[in-house]
Every structure is written in structure tokens, then in C-alpha cells.
């Protein structure tokens, strides 16, 4: 298990440096293919690949295949032949699910209408539709879209699962602010519990509306999938974004709704800059005597 140590702090700072200062090109098709032996088994370690994805990102031409490993669509230990078999199985299972859906579609549509009538969730439906669209743009086939999206939600459950992961994220974000920035935490506490809870959409949609391009969204999402530099990196990302509006929040004594409005103006962000900033926060965090709740969450 990873421990809090100066070595981990140095590694996080080095990653931040590689992302912004040294800026190596993303992993392209030639390099990606070199990671495999003649049977299609990975010749490089999962850790090696994930660290490189964190620091450099993926070229669009390899993103689809790489994401199949990152999400669990394919096993990291699989051969090329095994992956062909798995893909065929997933295609068949998807078709079977589609046929089942056709039979129960009227019932589902009725339940869906009732859900809309009882909850004002139009914004969240739109957000999830946008997430699905990003997967449709990435892959060629419907069955790939379906399974990659399902596996992505499972892998990032602390980010995307409403009332489970999102609430946990918000609680841990509050804990992180209290630990790293007591002055800001005191201000937020004085504005009531809703000050941090208002950031619910960030985690629900994995920050997709904060970036200047789809490539930036994919860049952040694939870093979240690597588990590098730590688990639940999305909370460090949220903390870094909140720091961007910190001075404005304090100067104008903002509460929950105003904080959300200020945060909603964080658009056209650069993913590399945000990931680098979050790596620096992690490096700072692990040099301190971290509370057990944060240790358990991030490590």
C-alpha cells in the first residue's frame, strides 16, 4: 500500500513538472504499439503506462484502445486473441441488452416520465447525455460506447454516482479545505453547509463543462482512470479549481449560490495546467501529518 513519504511528494512534483515544464509529446500509436510483445501481451508494466499517461497524455489515435485497458473493458494481462474474444462477447451482450430494452421500453418510458415529474433533474439528464456524447465521439461502435461508459462510471464511482460518490467527494473536499486552508474553511463554515455542497455538479459530471475542448475533458478523465498520482484525484482537482476563486469568495464574502456562480465561470480551462496544479496540492498534502480520513481516501 502507498505510504505518505517524501518520495511520494517528490514523485508528484516531478509529474507536475513533466506536465507543464518538460511537456513531452503524448503517447502516439508507434509508442503504444511498442508496449506490447508479439502475442499482444503488455511488455511494460501497468504502473509505467499509467504514470506516462498522467505526465504526457494520449494521442487521439490511441485513446480508444488505451481507455479499454484503463476502464477494465480489457484486462491488462490479456493477449491480442483474448481481446478479440472479449470484444466479440461484449458486442453480443450489448445486442442482447438492446433486445431486452425493446421489450420493456414502454414501462421504462413511463417510469422516466414520472421521475421527471417528481424531480427537477433536467440539468443532470443533459449533463449525462453530454458525457455519453463524448464517448460516442471517441469510439466507432455502439457497443464500445455502452460498455466504456458503464465501466467509466464504475471506475469513477466516487465522482459520478449521485448520492453515493458525489456526497463522499463533497465531504472529503470540505475535510481537505479544513486541513490545507483553515482560513478559507472558516469562511465557508460561516456560510453554512451549502457552501461546499453547491459544487455537486462538478463531481456529478466529472468537470466536463470547465474545459476549453473535448480533448481537455478526455485528458482529465484518463488521468482519473489511471489512479495516479493517487486515488480519488478528482477531489484534489476540485480543490485546485476552488482555489482559483478563493480570493474573490473571501473579498466578496460569498455564500453557496454565489460561490457556485463564480465556479461556473471557470470555463476554457487547460487540463494540463489543472492536473499539474492538483499534483502540486497532492505533493503538499503528503508532506504533512495527514488525518486518517484523508489517508484512507487518497491512498
| pLDDT tens digits for range 212-221 | 999 999 999 9
pLDDT of residue 117 exceeding 50, the answer is: no
289 pLDDT higher than 80: yes
CA gap 70, 152 in Å, rounded: 9
Residue 206 has pLDDT above 60, yes or no: yes
Average pLDDT over every residue of 127-147 = 93
Q: How confident is the model at residue 285 (pLDDT cuts 50, 70, 90)?
A: very high
- Delimit the domains of the chain by residue range: 157-298
d(CA 76, CA 148) in angstroms, rounded, equals 15
Q: What confidence score (pLDDT) does residue 1 get? A: 36
In 10 A of CB 33, how many CB atoms? Answer: 10
Longest dimension (CA), the chain: 61
Of all residues in the chain, what percent carry a pLDDT higher than 70?
Answer: 87
According to the model, what pLDDT value does residue 118 have? 43
Structure confidence at residue 199 as a pLDDT band (50, 70, 90): confident
Nearest to 277 by CA among 2, 6, 3, 15: 15
Contact by Cβ (8 Å): 82, 70: no
For the stretch 228-249, pLDDT in tens is 999 999 999 999 999 999 999 9
The pLDDT, as a whole number, for residue 42 is 97
Q: What are phi and psi of 38, to 5 degrees?
A: -65, -20
Q: What is the mean pLDDT of the chain?
A: 87
Question: 3-state DSSP call for residue 195?
Answer: helix
The yes-or-no verdict on residue 198 having pLDDT over 70 is: yes
Does residue 12 carry a pLDDT above 60? yes
List, in order, residues 6 or more apart from 157 with CB less than 8 Å away: 164, 165
The residue that leads in pLDDT, 191 or 170, is 170
Q: How many Å apart are CA 100 and CA 261, to the nearest integer?
A: 42
Choice among 19-23, 51-55, 160-164, 174-178 with the minimum mean pLDDT:
160-164
What is the reported pLDDT for 205? 86
Higher local confidence (pLDDT), 60 or 257: 60
Tell me what the mean pLDDT of segment 45-69 comes to: 96
- The grid coordinates listed for 136 are 460516442
Q: How confident is the model at residue 2 (pLDDT cuts 50, 70, 90)?
A: very low
Q: Is 58 helix (H, G, I), strand (E, B) or coil?
A: strand
Lowest mean pLDDT among 17-26, 157-166, 205-214, 241-250: 157-166
CA–CA separation, 2 and 231 (whole Å): 10
The average pLDDT across 249-256 equals 89
Averaged pLDDT for residues 273-294: 93
Best CA proximity match to 289, nearest among 180, 170, 168, 171: 180
Q: Residue 36 and residue 15: Cα distance in Å, rounded?
A: 24
| pLDDT > 60? residue 252 | yes
Q: Provide Rg for the chain, Cα atoms.
A: 20
Sign of the alpha-carbon dihedral angle for 115, 136, 70, 3:
negative
Give the pLDDT band (50/70/90) at residue 164: low
Fold of 157-298: Cyclin A; domain 1 (1.10.472)
Amino acid at each position: 500500500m502507498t505510504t505518505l513519504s517524501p518520495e511520494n511528494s517528490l514523485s508528484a512534483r516531478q509529474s507536475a513538472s513533466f506536465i507543464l515544464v518538460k511537456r513531452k509529446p503524448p503517447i502516439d500509436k508507434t509508442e503504444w504499439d511498442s508496449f506490447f510483445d508479439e502475442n499482444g501481451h503488455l511488455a511494460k508494466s501497468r504502473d509505467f503506462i499509467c504514470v506516462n499517461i498522467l505526465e504526457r497524455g494520449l494521442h487521439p489515435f490511441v485513446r480508444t484502445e488505451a481507455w479499454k485497458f484503463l476502464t477494465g473493458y480489457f484486462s491488462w494481462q490479456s493477449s491480442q486473441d483474448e481481446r478479440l474474444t472479449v470484444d466479440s462477447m461484449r458486442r453480443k451482450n450489448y445486442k442482447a441488452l438492446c433486445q431486452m430494452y425493446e421489450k420493456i421500453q414502454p414501462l421504462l418510458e413511463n417510469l422516466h416520465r414520472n421521475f421527471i415529474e417528481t424531480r427537477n433533474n433536467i440539468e443532470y439528464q443533459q449533463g449525462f447525455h453530454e458525457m455519453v456524447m463524448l464517448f460516442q465521439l471517441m469510439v466507432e461502435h455502439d457497443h464500445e460506447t455502452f460498455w466504456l461508459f458503464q465501466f467509466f462510471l464504475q471506475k469513477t464511482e466516487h465522482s459520478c454516482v449521485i448520492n453515493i460518490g458525489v456526497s463522499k467527494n463533497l465531504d472529503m473536499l470540505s475535510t481537505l479545505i479544513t486541513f490545507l486552508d483553515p482560513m478559507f474553511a472558516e469562511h465557508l463554515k460561516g456560510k453554512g453547509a451549502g457552501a461546499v455542497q453547491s459544487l455537486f455538479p462538478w463531481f456529478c459530471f466529472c468537470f466536463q463543462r470547465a474545459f476549453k475542448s473535448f480533448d481537455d475533458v478526455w485528458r482529465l478523465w484518463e488521468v482519473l482512470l489511471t489512479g495516479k498520482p493517487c486515488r480519488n484525484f478528482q477531489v484534489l482537482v476540485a480543490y485546485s479549481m476552488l482555489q482559483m476563486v478563493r480570493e474573490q469568495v473571501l473579498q466578496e464574502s460569498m455564500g453557496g449560490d454565489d460561490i457556485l456562480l463564480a465556479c461556473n465561470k471557470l470555463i476554457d480551462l487547460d487540463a494540463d495546467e489543472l492536473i499539474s496544479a492538483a499534483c502540486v496540492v497532492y505533493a503538499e498534502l503528503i508532506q504533512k501529518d495527514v488525518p486518517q480520513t484523508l489517508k484512507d481516501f487518497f491512498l
